[in-house]
Amino acid sequence: MTKPQRFKLKNGLRVILVPESQNLTTTVMVSVEAGSEYETKEINGLSHFLEHMCFKGTHKRPTAMDIASELDGLGAQYNAFTSQESTSYYAKAKNENAGEILDVVADMYRDPMFEHQEIEKERGVIIQELNMYEDTPMRRVAELFMNVVYGDQPAGWDIGGKKEIIRKLSRDDFIDYRSKHYLPQATVVTIAGGRAKKEMLKKAEDYFKGLPGGKKGAKPKTKESQRKPAELVSFKDVDQSHLVLGFRAFDVYDKRKYALRVAADILGGGMSSRLFQKVREELGAAYYVRADADLSIDHGLFEMAAGVEHEKIDLVVKAALKEFSRAGNEKIGAQELARAKEHLIGNLFMSLEGSDEIGSFYAAQEIFRLGLSTPQEVAKKINAVTADEIRSAVRQIVRNDRLNLAVIGPFKKRSFLDILRV
């Protein structure tokens, strides 16, 4: 993969070009350092709501239909997504249409109108999206896990917000929030694929040079406070119990992150992983089971998730805790370590086959201000991880004063604290 090129415009906006001459498509992605962790409690959910509103019309393209029909007419795929730390808007099309999709995405980002009528209509859409997530326990349990770990602070709030807050948000709230966060120095434009060339850099400069400046609103620092295992059990009459079990870890800038990612792969990164073999193959208790190291700006998690048979949930929790402990107490064998590294690297490479995935890969690095590493450079760091580094990193994290559990299932008066210990 070609080494990306990074440019900084006079107004502070950053442009990343990732030329891939053999690629038949080009992706344009505009990302901003503005997500749910930048919100106050009174406007929780606004970052995501604002993302929706950017598709509802600009002065140049007054309606949602104008935007959608133009992108559809260019044969584009397009969407947006909001996380805790950022919001991104993107479009992907054949190389000949790269300039046109940049025009549309830049216009959506720069000039949303926030018409009262559209805000009122979109409230209903957002609330239905929240209802959909509430009816999707496999997804909802991850939000509950954040709630139990971080509590009543931005890192513990749902990205989508609460319905009662969504119903109250005003046009002024959108304008005020956008003026504090949608600033050039907090914005990254990533162009990846067959047309990621200097001509696109010039277009990006023309489109974004007029962004208004200002002082960027800060993200509140996440507070870490825990003395003993904690849980959140949510009753729902479902056919399968869903759980997330894990430990507070460290942030994405920590040098131990590659060791933790290899550890997560060993635990739940594939069908040969320890948790898959134990929970699915041996216990026959789950269809899906996985583990991950989810690291952010100032906090992180080392966790596993599974959908399990109600009657076997205790067995699964105990088995998972045993495997977490074993990863910190026993040295991983050379063969298992090599397999995990190859699995991790192989999945990374395969996830970057499209220009949209390549764009996301570099945009995320730039949003986190990590410096730009190629997949090959990341692979080199993964391959350098030793068994002792994994054991050391896991041992520092897998402790009772970092342990948390979230469960959605048919449990009205059930606690798992009696088995929640390592």
Q: Which of 33, 39, 51, 118 is catalytic?
A: 51
Q: What is the DSSP string of 285-338?
A: -EEEEEEEEEE-SS-EEEEEEEEE-GGGHHHHHHHHHHHHHHHHHSPPPHHHHH
Task: Tell how far CA 296 is from the center of its chain.
Answer: 9
From 73, 22, 7, 360, select the one nearest 193 (Cα to Cα). Answer: 22
Residue 223 neighbours by CB distance under 10 Å: 12
Residue 214 φ/ψ region, left for φ over 0, alpha for ψ in the -120 to 50 degree band, beta for the rest:
left
- The structure tokens 């209903």 sit at 124
Q: Assess whether 51 carries a catalytic annotation.
A: yes
Going by C-beta distance under 8 Å and a sequence separation of 6 or more, which residues neighbour residue 194?
20, 21, 22, 23, 24, 25, 26, 95, 98, 355
One-letter identity of residue 419: I
From 352, 196, 323, select the one nearest 264 (Cα to Cα). Answer: 323
Residue 24 neighbours by CB distance under 10 Å: 11
**Residue 116 has which token pair?**
């009262």
Going by C-beta distance under 8 Å and a sequence separation of 6 or more, which residues neighbour residue 109?
30, 32, 54, 89, 182, 187
Going by C-beta distance under 8 Å and a sequence separation of 6 or more, which residues neighbour residue 207?
102, 103, 106, 107, 110
Query: 26, 193 in Cβ contact below 8 A?
Result: yes
Which amino acids are annotated catalytic?
A: 51
